[in-house]
Amino acid sequence: MPTEPPSTLWQFPPVDLADEHGFVALGADSEPGTILAAYRLGIFPIPIEAEGELGWWSPDPRGVLHLRDFHISRSLRRSMGRFEFRVDTAFDDVVAGCADTNRPHGWIDQRIRAAYRELHELGWAHSIETWFNGELVGGLYGLAIGGLFAAESKFRRVTDASKAAVAALVAGLSDEHGDRRLVDVQWRTDHLATLGVSEINRADYIRHLPSLLAVPPSALFSGERLTIPIAPQA
């Protein structure tokens, strides 16, 4: 079970005070208790480079992936067979891949890397890793809180490696509580929509959050080496 960190010293504004971009607040710290408290309110951090501070966001609408809606194309399913999937064996390397400064629109600074490393050590932050011939070629990381997986970022070094990590995550979360679980991707994009990501208005997301957080944690993040089941090609 994850270790609960000390409570945050900060109090976040109500999410309905967010601006049209979903911006809620500026400042606070990146302590584990602060970040967890934010997610439990439907808020997440992204640094604002110009200010040198953390920005806190709660967009409306919110991009989400219901496990039942995940779409895996035939080409992706074919790719899955050549990869191996692991959980939490290379967390720092996955975050480093996501933080690569050569990628456009990078936002993962050293403060975020340190914060999520600490959350990983406490059992809250996790990596889903795509391996090929013993080499890490893609993956994603995020926070698992009850039935919520808050996906932060993903990366790939070979074709389909990041999408394959999403497929592995969905497969691993699809247990007896799978219909009660949700992957939060923050904002829907055209790319994510091809995987089944949809939008939900913020009020509905916030209303659903308490029951979502009360779902038992997934065995995917139990610390054991698990084989992630991938359905065969139809």
Q: Please report the pLDDT score of residue 234 as a whole number.
A: 41
Q: Mind listing the domains of the chain with CATH numbers?
A: 15-57 (no CATH), 62-221 (3.40.630.70)
**Cis ω on the peptide bond leading into residue 217 (within 30° of 0)?**
no
Q: How many CB atoms lie within 10 A of CB 32?
A: 23
Q: What is the pLDDT of residues 130-170, one digit of tens each?
A: 999 999 999 999 999 999 999 999 999 999 999 999 999 99
**What is the sign, positive or negative, of the torsion defined by CA atoms of 112, 198, 145, 59?**
positive
The letter for the amino acid at 156 is R
Residue 232 vs residues 71, 79, 80, 171: alpha-carbon distances, Å: 14, 11, 9, 12
Q: Is the pTM of this model over 0.85?
A: yes
